[in-house]
Amino acid sequence: MSKNADVLADLFAAAKAAQAMAYVPYSNFPVGAALRASDGTVYVGGNVENAAFPEGWCAETSAIAAMVAAGGRRIAEICVIGNGAALCTPCGGCRQRIREFADAATRVHIAGPEGVRASFTLAALLPESFGPGHLKA
């Protein structure tokens, strides 16, 4: 296995562990996310539901919040894992949250229980996006 494959395997394993900790009593659809910050630190999150369903936090949002709370500001890559046959890509809100801390070339890896199924750039998932650069004078 190459060094890049080893690194992606570690990110997948972290996302899978986060998925196992998700709190999903209403949807019963656990999602995990693991992101690697620009300094190499990995942050994880699982989706968290509550009785006011569908209000809650997506796994990607939880991982981003953990990164920000620790002082991180740049996502180098992210892996999202969900069950089922379909690709569990980030929702629109999470794509925008990822965009806040990533750039168009950032890799977004989509996984199922068996491993990574597909990889995209953020630009492919969120074309012509609005981001922090638009707000600079």
Where exactly are the structural domains of the chain?
3-126
Residue showing tokens 């539901």: 49
Write out the chain's pLDDT in tens, 137 residues: 556 677 799 999 999 999 999 999 999 999 999 999 999 999 999 999 999 988 899 999 999 999 999 999 999 999 999 999 999 999 999 999 999 999 999 999 999 999 999 999 999 999 988 888 888 86
How far, in Å, are 39, 73, 88, 98, 130 from residue 58 at the CA level? Answer: 23, 19, 12, 12, 21
38 phi and psi, to 5 degrees?
-60, -25
The CATH architecture of the domain made up of 3-126 is: 3-Layer(aba) Sandwich (3.40)
Please list the helix, strand and coil fractions of the chain in percent, rounded to the nearest 5, in that order.
Answer: 35, 30, 40
Query: Is residue 128 among the annotated active site residues?
Result: no
Annotated active-site residue in 49, 60, 77, 114:
60
pLDDT of residue 49: 97
